[in-house]
Amino acid sequence: MSKNDFMNQLEVLLRVKKEDKDSILEEYDSYFTEATSDGATEQEVVEMLETPKEIAATANDELGTTKSEDMKGYIKAQVDIAKKSIENSVDLIDIDGLVSNVNKTVSETMESIKKNSILEGIGEKMSEVIDKLKSIDYGKNNNGEQDYSNSKIDKVDIKGNKLIISINDENSSKIGVRITQGTEQELISMTIPNIVKNTFELIEDGETVQYLVPKTSIQLAQRKRVKLLIPTHIEDLTINSKCPLSVKGIELENLAVKVNNVPVSISDIEGGIVELNMGNGPLSVKDLEVDKFYIDNGNGPVSIKNIESEEIRLECLDGPISIKDVESDEFVAKLGSGPLSIKDMKGVKHSYSMGSGPKSIKDIDVEDLLVEASGGIISMRDVKTKLLDGDITGSVKSLRRIDAEVDKLRK
Amino acid sequence: MDTQFKKGVIEVCVLNEIKKADNYGYNLVKSLSRVLEIGESTIYTMLRKLTNEGNLDVYEKAGSDGPRRKYYTLTNNGEHKLFLLVNEWEVFIKKINNLIGGLTDE
C-alpha cells in the first residue's frame, strides 16, 4: 500500500470530530516524513504502522461518536474505501489502453501478413479469373443483369495447403490463371481437372494456363501466406488452411474457415452464415453483414469490429479480446481470461460470460443483458438495458452510468 | 494486561514523558510504543484525548535539524492530573504487591 492509499483509507475510516481527525491525520503524515527521513521506505513505514482499520478502530473507540453512528459510519466508510480503491485500481490498469494495444498488435500482425504475403498476386489473379468468368454469358436474370447464380464459381476450398476453386460451368472453355509468387512470376504446382474427365494436367510454362475448368486446385506450400480477394458472389466457401489467411470482399451464402494456429483476417463479407473454427493465433474480423456468425477460437488475440448479424456466437479461450461496434439480435460470448473489451454493442439479447483478468464493458444498448464474470476486475460504463442480469460478485467492480429498468445483477 | 488497565498506564506514561520535556508525536511513539507493547494509534489517540481534556497544549516549532513539528506540552491541568494519577498508581501497586505477596507467602 502506498502512503497515499494509507492516508486515504484512514481519512475515510476515521469517524471522529473534524479537529481530532485532522490532528490524527497530521500525526500520521508527519510519522511518514520522520520515518522516511530516518531511512525507511514508504512501504516499510506502512508495514511498521498499524493498518488504517486498526488505527480507526482505536481512535473511533476513544474519540468517536456513538456506537450506532459508528456502525453506520463504519459501513459507509467501508463502502467508500471499496469504491475508491476499485476506481483507483481500474483506472490504474487502464483497460482501454490495454485493449487498444491488443488492437494494435492484431492489426500489426495482419499488416505483416499482407506485407509478407508470398502469394501477393494471387488475389488479383483470382479476380482476373472471376472477371473472365463474369464475361461469360450466363443468361440474364429478372433485372436484365447477368445471372451468375446458376453457373459460376460455386465453391472455393482451401484444404490443407490446397486452394480448390469449383466452377460450375461445363460450357465455358477459356480462362487464364496465373499465380505470382513473391516478386517472381512463376507457376506453383497446380492441377486443373479436365472439363470432361475432371482431371487436367497443369501446363507449367510459367505463364498463362489457358483453360476454364470446373475445378481448380492450387497447391500451396505449407506455411505460405495466402491472400484471397474474390469480389464476387460465392455459394459456399470452405477454407481449411494451414497458411496464414486473409479473406476479403466476398458476397456468399456460407463461409466456413477451419485453421490451426495461423493468423487469420476476415473482412468485408456479406452473406449468410460465417463460421470460423480457429486454433490459437491472432484473428481479426471486420466489416461483416451476415445472417449468422460463429467463432470458436483458442487463445490468442482476437479483434472483432463492425459486425451486423442476427445471431452471433463467440467462444474464445484466453487472450486479449476486443469486440466493438456489433449489432446483433442475439449475441452470446463465452470468453476466457485476459484483457477483454466489449464496446458499442446493440441488440436485443446479449450475454457476456467472462473469465478473470481485466474487463471493460462500455456503451451497451441492449434490451436484455446478462453479464457473468468469474473474477478479475470489471469496469462497466454507459450501459442501457431493460433487464440486467448475471453475477459479478467475484470481481472487483467499477460501475458507472448503468441504466437498467430491472437490475438483477448480483454484484 | 486488560485494555482499561493498560489505558491508565499509557495515560500516566504519556503525561510523564511530556512532563520530562515537551515532545512531538513521532518521538513519543518511538519511545513509548515498544516499551508498552502498544500500537502507535493508541498513543496518538491518547494525545488527542488528553489535548481535548485540556491536559495538553500543542504548539508548533521548527526543529534545528528537521521539519516543523507539533510539540505537546503539559498544562497546569495536566500536571495536576499526572500528580493524581501517579498517586493512584503508587497506591494501586502497593495493594497489588500486598495481594501477590500474600498469595506467594501461603
Q: State residue B91 phi and psi, 5-degree precision.
A: -60, -45
Tell me the shortest Cα–Cα distance from A77 to chain B, in angstroms.
18
Cβ distance A33 to B67 less than 8 Å, yes or no, reads: yes
Task: Give the separation between CA A290 and CA A286, rounded to whole angstroms.
Answer: 12
Of B29, B41, B52, the CB nearest to A59: B41
Tell me the shortest Cα–Cα distance from B106 to chain A, in angstroms.
41
Tell me the shortest Cα–Cα distance from B76 to chain A, in angstroms.
22
The C-alpha cell that represents A214 in the structure block = 470446373
Q: Please write the tens of the pLDDT for every residue from A262-316.
A: 777 788 888 788 888 887 767 888 889 999 999 988 877 788 889 999 999 999 8
Domain range for B94: 3-105
A1 touching B, CB under 8 A? Answer: no
Cβ distance A27 to B47 less than 8 Å, yes or no, reads: yes
How much is the pLDDT for A142?
Answer: 67
ipTM: 0.86
Chain A residues touching B49 at Cβ < 8 A = 62-63
Mutate to test the interface with B, among A27, A29, A53 (most CBs of B within 10 A): A27
How much is the pLDDT for A235?
Answer: 54
A-B interface: how many C-beta pairs under 8 angstroms? 58
Q: How many domains does chain B have?
A: 1
**Which residues of chain A from 2 to 41 reach within 8 Å of chain B, CB to CB?**
20, 23-24, 26-28, 30-31, 33-35, 37
A63 touching B, CB under 8 A? Answer: yes
Of B26, B46, B51, the CB nearest to A30: B26
Chain A residues touching B47 at Cβ < 8 A = 27
Task: List average pLDDT for each run of 10 residues in chain A, which is 411 residues long.
Answer: 89 87 92 90 91 90 61 53 47 46 55 42 44 51 53 40 42 34 32 28 29 32 35 53 63 70 77 82 84 86 89 86 91 85 92 86 93 84 93 83 92 86
How much is the pLDDT for A381?
Answer: 87
Cβ distance B26 to A24 less than 8 Å, yes or no, reads: no
How much is the pLDDT for A76?
Answer: 57
For B11-41, letters b (16+ CB in 10 Å) and e give bbbbbebbbeeebbbbebbeebbeebebbbb
A206 with A199: CB under 8 angstroms? no
Task: Give the separation between CA B62 and CA A49, rounded to whole angstroms.
Answer: 25
Provide the CATH number for the domain around residue B62. 1.10.10.10
Cβ distance A63 to B46 less than 8 Å, yes or no, reads: no
Tell me the shortest Cα–Cα distance from A380 to chain B, in angstroms.
38
Cβ distance B67 to A35 less than 8 Å, yes or no, reads: no
B52 touching A, CB under 8 A? Answer: yes
B58 with B74: CB under 8 angstroms? no
Q: How many CA atoms lie within 13 A of A50 on its CB side?
A: 20
Chain A residues touching B69 at Cβ < 8 A = 30
Chain B residues touching A50 at Cβ < 8 A = 39-41
**Which residues of chain B from 9 to 38 reach within 8 Å of chain A, CB to CB?**
24-26, 29
Task: Tell me which DSSP letter residue A270 carries.
Answer: E
Supply the DSSP string of A203-235, one letter for each residue: --SSS-EE---SEEEEE--TT--EEEE--SEEE
Q: Distances in Å between the alpha carbon of A247 and those of A48, A183, A283?
A: 61, 21, 12
How much is the pLDDT for A50?
Answer: 92
The C-alpha cell that represents A221 in the structure block = 506450400
Within 10 angstroms of residue A4's Cβ, the number of other Cβ atoms is 10
Cβ distance B44 to A27 less than 8 Å, yes or no, reads: yes
Cβ distance B46 to A62 less than 8 Å, yes or no, reads: yes
Angle at A64 between CA A61 and CA A65, to 5 degrees: 125
What are the residue ranges in chain B where pLDDT is below 50?
1, 104-106
How much is the pLDDT for B18?
Answer: 94
Residues 6 or more apart in contact with residue A221 via CB below 8 angstroms: A161, A188
Task: Give the separation between CA A61 and CA A242, rounded to whole angstroms.
Answer: 70
Q: How many CA atoms lie within 13 A of A97 on its CB side?
A: 5
Supply the DSSP string of A248-267, one letter for each residue: EEEEEEEEEEEESSS-EEEE
How much is the pLDDT for A207?
Answer: 30
B76 touching A, CB under 8 A? Answer: no
How much is the pLDDT for A307?
Answer: 95
How much is the pLDDT for B7?
Answer: 78
A374 touching B, CB under 8 A? Answer: no
B54 touching A, CB under 8 A? Answer: no
Cβ distance B66 to A37 less than 8 Å, yes or no, reads: yes
Task: Give the separation between CA A46 and CA A124, rounded to whole angstroms.
Answer: 66
How much is the pLDDT for A133?
Answer: 46
How much is the pLDDT for A79?
Answer: 54
B40 touching A, CB under 8 A? Answer: yes
Q: Distances in Å between the alpha carbon of A331 and those of A19, A310, A360, A390?
A: 56, 8, 17, 15
Tell me the shortest Cα–Cα distance from A47 to chain B, in angstroms.
12
Chain B residues touching A54 at Cβ < 8 A = 39, 41
Chain B residues touching A10 at Cβ < 8 A = none
Residue of B nearest to A29 (CA): B26
Tell me the shortest Cα–Cα distance from B104 to chain A, in angstroms.
37
Within 10 angstroms of residue A287's Cβ, the number of other Cβ atoms is 16
